[in-house]
Amino acid sequence: MIVSTAALSRPAYSRFAIGAYNINNLEQILGLFKGSLDAEAPFILQISKGARSYADKRMLEAMIRTAEDIYPDAVFAVHLDHGDENTCYDCIESGFYSSVMIDASHEPFEENVAATRRVVEKAHPKGISVEAELGRRGGVEEHVTVDEGSAFLTNPDQAVEFVKETGCDSLACAIGTSHGAYKFKGRQRLHFEIIEAIKNKIPGTPIVMHGSSSVPEDEVRRINAAGGELDPSARGVEEDDYLAAAKLGVTKINIDTDGRLVWTRVHREYFRDHPKEFDLRPPGKIFVAEYAKFVAHKSEKLGSAGALPEIRRALTIAA
Ligand code: G3H
Ligand code: 13P
Ligand code: ZN
């Protein structure tokens, strides 16, 4: 069942986080639904602009609606990840999305506010919630002093003003993470003190953590042992930090890279071990099972495993 993003973030706030997984193809969709149900976890299925053009937005919608039929017990929201204004409007008009992200964080503050407010004005009358972003992700480089580096992170006072002026429903904050497999070098780290300060300034507003993949060492090692050339120093967010961040108001945790690593490991190992094979289905089947296992594991770490009965009860009461 597709539900509003608020129906998931409201009960989660300050208690656990909802995994938001980037989806591009059929195998990821099957694995995501299966793994979430195995863990009894609600989830957010998120679609980037790149995914909408890779798989065609109509194909993605049709596959997701079909997965909803195949797995009627799944409870999830559909979200546009890193949208520009026009893509947000397209998703709002489509009637398919629970929420959209307007990412104007690269713009000066006033322009970010103005674009976010325009999207909010179009989304809210349709019951669609809006995630916006403030701050610059992954900005704290090794050579930068702590004080200089903090300038890139979300300023908690500015967050108050931003949420008040835009009316956005959740805030993606720059808290030291970045997208991809190489998140932290030197003194770079997840800034719990910023998360806490933001929570104290805007209590009740869900915080979103982008760049949350953990980049497991073993996954990188297996990919490289099967012919990959990833930098073995690749490092991500400690999985044990997910729940600690959730208790400080991080309600949505975005995970894409780790799923890509599962895909790469499965396919590299499969074709290394079966050099004569050219049927796409055997590795595809392994990937679906491994991705399901991965999602169930992440749900445990996020604290969302086992939350489905509670979410269902809340939805029934609200209906
Ligand atoms: O935030 C970026 C996500 O990992 C999506 O990546 O734009 O390549 O689909 P993508
Ligand atoms: P990762 O690259 O850490 O998986 O982050 C994904 C993300 O933030 C999608 O918006
Ligand atoms: Zn992101």
Write down the pLDDT at residue 151: 60
Closest by CA to 22, choosing from 2, 52, 65, 58, is: 52
The reported pLDDT for the residue numbered 140 is 47
pLDDT classification of 59: cutoffs 50, 70, 90: very high
Q: Report the nearest atom of ligand 2 relative to the CA of 257.
A: 4
pTM to 2 decimals? 0.96
pLDDT at 146 over 90: no
Q: Ligand nearest 177 Cα, by number? A: 2
The Cα 266–Cα 287 span in angstroms is 6
Residue 171 confidence (pLDDT) above 50: yes
What pLDDT does residue 149 have? 53
Catalytic, 81? Answer yes
155's CB contacts (< 8 A; 6+ apart) are 134, 135
pLDDT at 139 over 80: no
Give me the sign of the Cα torsion angle 130, 30, 318, 249.
Answer: negative
Tokens 């409870």 -> residue: 75
Give yes or no for residue 155 CB within 6 A of ligand 2: no
d(CA 239, CA 218): 14
Reported as a single tens digit per residue, the pLDDT across 279-316 is: 999 999 999 999 999 999 999 999 999 999 999 999 99
pLDDT for 6 = 97
For residues 181-203, average pLDDT: 94
Kindly report the three-state secondary structure assignment for every residue of the chain: CECCHHHHHHHHCCCCCEEEEECCCHHHHHHHHHHHHHCCCCEEEEEEHHHHHHCCHHHHHHHHHHHHHHCCCCCEEEEEEEECHHHHHHHHHHCCCCEEEECCCCCCHHHHHHHHHHHHHHHHHHCCEEEEEECCCCCCCCCCCHHHHHCCCCCHHHHHHHHHHHCCCEEEECCCCCCCCECCCCCCCCCHHHHHHHHHHCCCCCEEECCCCCCCHHHHHHHHHCCCCCCCCCECCCCHHHHHHHHCCEEEEEECHHHHHHHHHHHHHHHHHCCCCCCCHHHHHHHHHHHHHHHHHHHHHHCCCCCHHHHHHHHHHHC
Cα–ligand 1 centroid distance for 319 (angstroms): 34
From the CA of 20, which ligand is nearest? Answer: 2
**Quick one: pLDDT at residue 150?**
60
pLDDT at 142 over 60: no
Tens-place pLDDT, residues 15-30: 999 999 999 999 999 9
Judged by phi (left if over 0) then psi (alpha if -120 to 50, else beta), residue 167 lies in left
The ligand with the least distance to the CA atom of 183 is 2
Q: Which of 24, 46, 256, 258 to mutate to test the pocket of ligand 1 (most atoms within 8 A of CB)?
A: 256
What CA–CA distance (Å, rounded) separates 304 from 126? Answer: 27
Atom of ligand 2 nearest to the CA of 178: 3
Residue 151 — φ and ψ, nearest 5°? -65, -25
Those residues whose C-beta lies under 8 Å from the C-beta of residue 117, and which sit 6 or more positions away, are: 165, 166, 167
Pairing mode, strands 43-48 and 76-83: parallel
255 lines ligand 2 (CB under 6 A): yes
The CB of 81 under 6 Å from ligand 2? The reply is yes
pLDDT surpassing 70 at residue 57: yes
The mean of the pLDDT values for the chain is 95
Q: Is the pLDDT confidence value at 77 over 90?
A: yes
Å from CA of 271 to ligand 3 middle: 31
The alpha carbon of 13 and the centre of ligand 2 are apart by a number of angstroms equal to 20
Query: CA of 280: how far to CAs of 76, 274, 283, 287, 292, in Å?
Result: 29, 12, 6, 11, 18
pLDDT digits (tens, 9 = 90+) for 214-248: 999 999 999 999 999 999 999 999 999 999 999 99
CA of 314 to the centre of ligand 1 (A): 32
Task: Kindly state the tokens that stand for 202.
Answer: 């805007």
**Residue of 92, 18, 28, 33 whose CA lies nearest to 54:** 28
Q: Between 243 and 188, whose confidence is greater?
A: 243
Give the number of other Cβ atoms within 10 Å of residue 278's Cβ: 7
Ligand 2 pocket mutation, candidates 81, 212, 237, 242, criterion most atoms within 8 A of CB: 212
Structure tokens at 207: 């915080």
Q: How far is the CA of 306 from the centre of ligand 2 (A)?
A: 24
From 38, 56, 73, 81, the catalytic residue: 81
